[in-house]
């Protein structure tokens, strides 16, 4: 654990040695917040500038001699005040998951005892680790390569965010190997040079929605116009076919069984979710008709359930789901309770919009009838540890260096997406699929607007754990979302208690220049013995 913590500190994004694309543009320094393309903005350049040292929450310090366990380095970490104010003067802090906690000791006390040469300040706590000298040299070499423009147009400034909102600018601090070798406190922030982050880069590396990609005729198929390649690698059909392998049913039945979950009431964590049988009218019946199949919705008196009867399977290749975006959620990188891994590279997502084409596969944009209904495939990117995270980040960074969404860009993106969505990429998960969850977001079937979540896993609310399992998609509680059918958000005492304790305590107080991006809390399955998660 200690080596992993320090490895993450030293191998921050942009500071690892994986090779980058050879298609780097000419090097020039980019002013903060200035776009390289048309429609530029200088709003980021107007943010206040704060000293880089004020942002540093981690310092590394070489020990005069190794500890009895062979540790060579003290890692000092600035921690926020504990939620339990009675522990504010404690000399020890335990951080991380209960299954793998890390123990840190108050830095000021260790300095007074002579265990460490010096302390960065009263809010710092210390752990000990082994840091090979080649790792420090690797960091310095990576900084040199970044400054040379090998990974794209660099900038000296980094933007500090409060949640999703930019709050300030600062210059990253370099890794001073000489100072470290002499036992000095060496701050660790981002690298002093980083690839410039612009809105153009965001469109190529974070939320990809350009028509050259989402309507790529070689990789997508448009149910509205019929343009493209049926079963292409970025189609709803391809993702479902890969996900259904190992389920015990055909991909067509896999999808029909999933859509049929809307036809009857069900319960999740004590929350009764009413049926929305317009799923049959708006999605299943038109799709069946376009597939050349007659269909009906019939009540099975034996089971007490409404069921779809098809005379032949749905044609997955003409699914009424149109690709809207491919999304990089590397911001979710880190520990995953679901996967049980110490760290992972975050998620890759595909967002599809429901259509009601008329005519089907032969019309125009005007006859597409895009509905307020999205389906989001959310995959956990395979990989474990710091190298996997930085390697995945490098691949996205490489995409940003293409000037357009040309064939070379799309081919590279295809290799990345296929490395995640193909069957067998996650042997320990349901159907050996890397899917974390599939979510829908709709108001097209009924009012009010509704979110639903599905997993290839069996949920156990009593323990708060999921057990990956082969088979069909199963309903699941919605992450971070209390049951609003049972808990009135204006008057419910459980909601009030949860917000005043867990949510409020998950945000640093007082809020000034932020030191982390999000509140840190989890919504429990139950509060005071009453089901809470919806």
Exposure string (b/e) for 466-484, b if CB count within 10 Å is 16 or more? bebeebbbbbbbbeeebbe
CA-CA distance, 483 to 359, in Å (whole number)?
40
CA-CA distance, 165 to 464, in Å (whole number)?
32
Query: Which helix (H) or strand (E) is 62 found in, with range?
Result: strand 58-62
Provide the pLDDT for residue 26: 31
Residue 80's CB is within 10 A of a number of other CB atoms, namely 15
pLDDT < 50 regions, the chain: 1-42, 336-341, 511-517
Question: Full-prediction pTM beyond 0.85?
Answer: no
Task: State how far Cα 142 lies from the chain centre.
Answer: 26
Q: Which residues pair with 187 in a beta bridge?
A: 59
Provide the pLDDT for residue 86: 86
CA-CA distance, 204 to 212, in Å (whole number)?
11
Q: Which residues pair with 159 in a beta bridge?
A: 169
Cα angle 334, 338, 344; round to 5: 25
CA-CA distance, 141 to 147, in Å (whole number)?
10
Provide the pLDDT for residue 340: 41
Phi-psi region of 375 (alpha: psi -120 to 50; beta: other; left: phi over 0): beta
Nearest in space to 530 (alpha carbons), one of 272, 274, 269: 269
In which residue are the tokens 């209390």 written? 482
In which residue are the tokens 């400034």 written? 157
Provide the pLDDT for residue 270: 84
Nearest in space to 501 (alpha carbons), one of 475, 477, 519: 519
CA-CA distance, 476 to 267, in Å (whole number)?
9
Provide the pLDDT for residue 176: 87
Nearest in space to 264 (alpha carbons), one of 233, 238, 303: 303
Written as one string, the DSSP assignment of 221-245 is B-TTT--B-TT-TTSHHHHHHHHHT
CA-CA distance, 160 to 51, in Å (whole number)?
11
Nearest in space to 18 (alpha carbons), one of 156, 150, 188: 150
Residue 436 backbone phi and psi in degrees, to 5: -85, -50
* Residues 75, 9 contacting (CB under 8 angstroms): yes
* Residues 379, 330 contacting (CB under 8 angstroms): no
Alpha-carbon torsion (482, 488, 490, 491), positive or negative: negative
Which burial class, exposed, middle or buried, applies to 39 when counting CB atoms under 10 A from its CB (0-12, 13-18, 19+)? exposed
CA-CA distance, 387 to 125, in Å (whole number)?
26
Phi-psi region of 129 (alpha: psi -120 to 50; beta: other; left: phi over 0): beta
CA-CA distance, 124 to 138, in Å (whole number)?
26
Token digits for 322? 């149109």
Task: State how far Cα 504 lies from the chain centre.
Answer: 23
In which residue are the tokens 């259509």 written? 355
Provide the pLDDT for residue 500: 79
Provide the pLDDT for residue 95: 82
* Residues 197, 328 contacting (CB under 8 angstroms): no
């Amino acid at each position: 654990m200690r080596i992993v913590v320090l490895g993450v500190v030293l191998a921050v994004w942009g500071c690892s040695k994986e090779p980058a694309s050879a298609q780097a543009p000419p090097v020039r320094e980019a002013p903060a917040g200035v776009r390289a393309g048309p429609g530029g903005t200088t709003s980021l350049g107007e943010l206040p500038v704060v000293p880089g040292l004020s942002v540093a929450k981690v310092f590394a310090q070489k020990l005069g001699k190794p500890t009895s366990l062979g540790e060579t380095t003290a890692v000092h970490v600035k921690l926020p005040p504990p939620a339990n104010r009675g522990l504010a003067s404690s000399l020890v802090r335990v951080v991380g998951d209960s299954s793998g906690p890390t123990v840190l000791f108050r830095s000021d006390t260790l300095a007074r005892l002579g265990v460490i040469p010096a302390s960065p300040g009263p809010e710092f706590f210390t752990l000990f680790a082994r840091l090979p000298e080649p790792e420090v040299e690797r960091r310095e070499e990576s900084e040199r390569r970044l400054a040379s423009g090998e990974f794209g147009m660099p900038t000296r400034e980094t933007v500090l965010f409060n949640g999703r909102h930019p709050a300030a600018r600062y210059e990253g601090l370099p890794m001073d190997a000489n100072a470290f070798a002499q036992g000095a406190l060496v701050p660790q922030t981002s690298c002093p040079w980083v690839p410039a982050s612009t809105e153009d880069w965001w469109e190529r590396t974070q939320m990809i929605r350009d028509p050259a990609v989402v309507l790529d005729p070689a990789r997508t198929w448009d149910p509205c116009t019929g343009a493209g390649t049926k079963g292409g690698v970025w189609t709803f059909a391809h993702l479902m076919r890969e996900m259904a392998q190992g389920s015990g049913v055909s991909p067509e039945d896999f999808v029909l069984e999933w859509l049929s979950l809307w036809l009857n009431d069900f319960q999740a964590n004590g929350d009764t979710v009413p049926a929305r049988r317009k799923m049959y009218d708006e999605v299943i019946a038109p799709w069946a008709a376009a597939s050349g199949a007659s269909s009906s919705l019939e009540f099975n008196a034996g089971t007490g359930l409404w069921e779809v009867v098809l005379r032949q399977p749905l044609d997955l290749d003409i699914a009424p789901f149109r690709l809207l975006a491919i999304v990089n959620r590397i911001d979710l990188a880190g520990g995953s309770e679901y996967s049980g891994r110490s760290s992972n590279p975050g998620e890759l997502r595909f967002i599809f919009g429901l259509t009601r084409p008329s005519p089907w596969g032969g019309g125009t944009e005007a006859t597409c009838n895009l509905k307020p209904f999205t389906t989001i495939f959310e995959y956990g990117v395979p990989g474990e540890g710091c190298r996997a995270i930085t390697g995945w980040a490098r691949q996205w960074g490489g995409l940003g260096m293409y000037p357009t969404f040309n064939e070379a860009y799309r081919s590279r993106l295809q290799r990345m997406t296929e490395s995640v969505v193909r069957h067998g990429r996650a042997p320990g998960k349901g159907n050996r699929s890397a899917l974390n969850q599939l979510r829908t977001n709709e108001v097209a079937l009924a009012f009010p607007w509704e979110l639903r979540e599905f997993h290839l896993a069996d949920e156990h609310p009593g323990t708060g754990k999921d057990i990956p399992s082969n088979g069909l998609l199963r309903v699941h509680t919605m992450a971070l979302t209390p049951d609003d059918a049972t808990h009135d958000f204006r008057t419910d005492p459980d909601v009030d208690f949860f917000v005043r304790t867990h949510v409020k305590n998950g945000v640093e107080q007082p809020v000034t220049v932020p030191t982390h991006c999000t509140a840190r809390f989890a919504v429990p399955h139950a509060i005071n013995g009453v089901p809470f998660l919806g």
